[in-house]
């Protein structure tokens, strides 16, 4: 495994480009307190960043509130042009931004580069949507008046982003907020604040006015966010994170009847029927399970394979996972990086032990790696029973949990036996069955014969306890708009 080494000159140079203060009202602010950002592959300190308190948060909200009216008055074309500039700036800066992301989050550089492209695409998509905000006009059914319908920005928006996609989850929220005419305050995860701080600098350079985008970093999210949520100047909360935290935030938002959108936890079923193209299904499982080292809400959490092919599928998947190179994400050829922290390793270790204790078999992997960093081996388990803990909580690690099924009705019932409903995956060559099962799954998204569904042009979101609202697609900007009806007497 890894041995302790200092950052390379290129790595240190990339980290040193990031401003580490709070970005409020178009300027950088230092704080008395700071917190550490470390490399999950080595545990090495990368830097320290500003640690905001509740006063800093309210200052950021005040800046967003002051800027709201003027930003809302800008033309759709002006907002579109700025977002297009941001899109180009992100792509031009891919190598630096990808390296920063890999150092703070751990994902391999190839995946980090892919995330920068994905993140930039949200800016381009919503730049195009900004100039297409529509309304309506119709005569009253009884005559005598006309109905005008227009849409206006919700107002200052609180955006809370997770650590696993530290750039893309920011642009997926900032893009529609700015396109709609909303100002915002972004609170990135404390594990990965550097990507969002780098983005704040880029947005400032491309001409986003002071106060329109503010970024606050903190090691105590509850203390900083709660006063902002309870403040009537905040009119929207967009949160990506765990269902447990999302429920608490919804309770707080209810006090001011704040508009909310929530992208919460998942428990994705991945269903392989016996008529599936097995090569395609294995590739799909690799994508759905191992993207981002398994640390994604869309990750395949429960893999159901029809009994006649379950052994062949498990063997193929185990062979593929066992061959994936593991290491620090900056190293050439690495496919599996570290988990985000020691707690994540402990959680995956506990889930695997529980499944094995209930009768599951380890086909490959099944253990944390000794040495520096937060590494867990790519793992395939078979005969995972439905009562295993990992079937009821997000694994968030490189563990493929496989179980056999016999009939379509059975697997649909098992797949839906969860309070979550973010995404599902179905592999079959029978189109009728594929559409039938996709419609029967209680999820907001389904991948039919594909292992990745996320796309800026598609509506992302879940049902049940996986969330409220949608991000991306034609509906993503609606989350930041209010509909106003004007009755006109004629």
263 labelled catalytic: yes
CA distance 197 to 190: 12
- Rounded distance, CA 69 to CA 62, Å? 12
The candidate with the shortest Cα–Cα distance to 297, out of 337, 265, 330, 336, is 265
Select which of 85, 115, 129, 263 is catalytic. 263
Name the CA dihedral angle for 309, 315, 320, 323, rounded to a multiple of 10 degrees.
180
DSSP code, position 8: P
Instruction: Give the Cβ contact number of residue 375 at 10 Å.
Output: 25
Q: How far apart are CA 287 and CA 289, in angstroms?
A: 6
Region class of 365: left (phi > 0), else alpha (psi between -120 and 50), else beta: left
Q: What is the DSSP letter of 376?
A: B
36 CB-near residues (< 8 Å, 6+ apart): 45, 46, 47, 48
Give every strand in the sheet of 145-153, ordered side by side: 136-139, 145-153, 481-489
> In angstroms, rounded to a whole number, what is the distance separating the alpha carbons of residues 265 and 242?
5
- Select from 377, 422, 329 the least CA-distant residue to 105: 329
Number of C-beta neighbours around residue 85 at 10 A: 18
Tell me 333's DSSP state. T
Please spell the DSSP secondary structure of 406-454, one letter per residue: --HHHHHHHHH-SSEESEEEEE-S-HHHHHHHHHHS-SSEEEES-S---
What are the strands of the beta sheet with 361-364, ordered from one edge?
Answer: 361-364, 379-382, 399-405, 300-306, 268-272, 423-427, 445-448
Three-class secondary structure of residue 269 per DSSP: strand
| Measured distance CA(118)–CA(171) in Å, rounded | 9
Q: Per the structure block, which two tokens stand in for 309? A: 């092919």
Strands 45-50 and 34-38: antiparallel
> Is 389 an annotated catalytic residue?
no
How far apart (Å, rounded) are the C-alpha atoms in residues 306 and 308? 6
Give me the sign of the Cα torsion angle 458, 461, 462, 463: negative
Write down the catalytic residue from 297, 394, 438, 442.
Answer: 297
Which sequence positions are flagged as catalytic?
A: 263, 297
């Amino acid at each position: 495994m890894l041995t302790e080494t200092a950052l390379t000159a290129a790595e240190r140079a990339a980290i040193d480009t990031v401003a580490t203060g709070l970005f409020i009202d178009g300027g950088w602010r230092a704080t008395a307190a700071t917190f550490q950002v470390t490399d999950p592959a080595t545990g090495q300190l990368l830097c320290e960043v500003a640690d905001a308190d509740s006063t800093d948060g309210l200052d950021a909200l005040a800046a967003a509130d002051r800027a709201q009216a003027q930003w809302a008055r800008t033309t759709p074309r002006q907002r579109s042009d700025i977002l297009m500039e941001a899109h180009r700036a992100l792509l031009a800066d891919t190598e630096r931004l990808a390296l920063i992301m890999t150092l703070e989050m751990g994902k391999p550089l190839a995946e980090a580069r892919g995330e920068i492209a994905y993140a930039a695409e949200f800016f381009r998509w919503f730049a195009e949507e900004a100039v297409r905000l529509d309304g309506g006009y119709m005569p009253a059914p009884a005559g005598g008046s006309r109905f005008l319908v227009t849409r206006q920005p919700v107002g200052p928006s609180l955006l809370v982003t997770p650590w696993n996609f530290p750039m893309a989850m920011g642009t997926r929220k900032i893009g529609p907020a700015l396109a709609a005419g909303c100002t915002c305050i972004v609170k990135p995860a404390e594990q990965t604040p550097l990507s969002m701080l780098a983005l704040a600098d880029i947005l400032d350079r491309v001409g986003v006015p002071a106060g329109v985008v503010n970024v606050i970093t903190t090691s105590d999210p509850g203390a900083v966010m709660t006063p902002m949520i309870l403040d009537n100047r905040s009119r929207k909360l967009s949160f990506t994170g765990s269902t447990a935290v999302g429920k608490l935030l919804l309770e707080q938002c209810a006090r001011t009847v704040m508009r909310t959108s929530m992208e919460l936890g998942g428990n994705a079923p991945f269903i392989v029927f016996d008529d599936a193209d097995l090569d395609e299904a294995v590739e799909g499982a690799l994508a759905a399970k191992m993207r981002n080292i398994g640390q994604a809400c869309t990750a395949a959490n429960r893999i159901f394979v029809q009994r006649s092919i379950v052994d062949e599928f498990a063997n193929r998947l185990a062979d593929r996972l066992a061959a994936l190179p593991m290491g620090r994400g900056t190293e050439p050829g690495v496919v599996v990086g570290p988990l985000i922290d020691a707690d994540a390793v402990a959680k995956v270790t506990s889930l695997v032990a529980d499944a094995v204790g209930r009768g599951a078999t380890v086909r490959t992997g099944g253990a944390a790696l000794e040495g520096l960093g937060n590494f867990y081996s790519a793992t395939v388990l078979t005969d995972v029973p439905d009562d295993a803990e990992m079937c009821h909580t997000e694994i968030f690690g490189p563990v493929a949990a496989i179980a056999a099924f016999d009939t379509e009705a059975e697997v649909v019932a098992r797949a839906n036996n969860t309070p979550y409903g973010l995404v599902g995956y179905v592999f079959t060559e029978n189109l009728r069955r594929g559409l039938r099962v996709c419609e029967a799954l209680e999820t907001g998204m389904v991948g039919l014969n594909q292992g990745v569904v996320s796309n800026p042009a598609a509506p992302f979101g879940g049902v049940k306890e996986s969330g409220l609202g949608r991000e991306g697609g034609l509906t993503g900007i609606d989350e930041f708009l209010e509909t106003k009806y004007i009755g006109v007497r004629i």
